[in-house]
């Protein structure tokens, strides 16, 4: 299954958060992923499990022609592991988190070897820390299930979590 563009959400709230984001991008590109758009980095409040440090989040658009969605998922998980990601508390602190948000207009919900791949990301439309950077780099990308653009989703959002541009 050859697709064209995928959008990845990246986040970090442990260690040197900005360096973790950059290291993830470097690893993904070293593994052959072509990243053609990057959002700014955003400082964001944790959502869900709130007893943890603030996050830095961003979105990357990648060209993935010829890659199957599961190959992209494997690459994201491998990158997290290489950068010290530990899954000890659901939604808890992490050195790096890489989520597949969208893959063109592809829709999938599958489980393999204990790993779930759901695209579009099932909660992206509820999260300001995802929609702000996504709308920054591609405000007209359409959510393939909801049929509205990233900017429209952001405008409709009631999420009050703090999201601001990160200045180092």
> Which tens digits make up the pLDDT trace of 30-65?
999 999 999 999 999 988 777 888 999 999 999 998
Which among 17, 61, 67, 99 is annotated as catalytic?
99
Respond yes or no: is residue 94 known to be catalytic. yes
Supply φ then ψ for residue 167, to 5 degrees. Answer: -125, 120
* Annotated catalytic residue, options 17, 97, 128, 138: 97
Average pLDDT of the residues in 145-167: 92
Give catalytic status of residue 97 as yes or no.
yes
Q: What is the pLDDT of residue 66?
A: 81
Catalytic pick among 61, 94, 127, 128: 94
Is 16 a residue of the active site?
no
Confidence band of 168 (pLDDT split at 50, 70, 90)? confident
Give the model's confidence band at 1: pLDDT under 50 very low, under 70 low, under 90 confident, else very high.
Answer: very low
Q: Is 97 a residue whose pLDDT tops 90? A: yes
CA distance 51 to 61: 30
The model carries a pTM of 0.94
Q: Where are the alpha helices (DSSP H) in the chain?
A: 17-30, 69-82, 128-137, 150-156
Question: Looking at residue 2, what is its pLDDT?
Answer: 44
- Domain 5-165: CATH class, spelled out: alpha beta
Place of tokens 């990301």: 121
Q: Domain spans of the chain?
A: 5-165
Which residues are 35's β-sheet partners? 62
Give all strands (DSSP E) within the chain, no chain letters.
5-12, 34-38, 42-44, 55-63, 97-103, 108-112, 115-119, 163-165
Residue 116: active-site member = no
Catalytic residue among 61, 85, 127, 128: 85
Task: Note the Cα 111 to chain centre separation in Å.
Answer: 19
């Amino acid at each position: 299954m050859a697709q064209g563009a995928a959008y990845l959400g990246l986040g970090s709230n442990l260690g040197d958060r900005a360096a973790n984001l950059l290291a993830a991008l470097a690893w993904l590109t070293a593994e052959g992923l072509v990243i053609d758009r990057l959002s700014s980095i955003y400082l964001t409040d944790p959502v869900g499990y709130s007893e943890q440090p603030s996050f830095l989040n961003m979105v990357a658009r990648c060209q993935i022609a010829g890659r199957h969605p599961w190959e992209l998922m494997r690459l994201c998980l491998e990158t997290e592991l290489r950068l010290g990601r530990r899954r000890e508390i659901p939604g808890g602190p992490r050195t790096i988190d890489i989520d597949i948000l969208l893959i063109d207009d592809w829709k999938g919900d599958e489980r393999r070897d204990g790993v779930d791949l759901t695209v579009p990301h099932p909660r992206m439309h509820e999260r300001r820390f995802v929609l702000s950077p996504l709308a920054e780099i591609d405000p007209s990308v359409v959510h393939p299930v909801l049929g509205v653009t990233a900017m429209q989703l952001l405008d409709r959002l009631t999420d009050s979590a703090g999201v601001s541009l990160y200045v180092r």
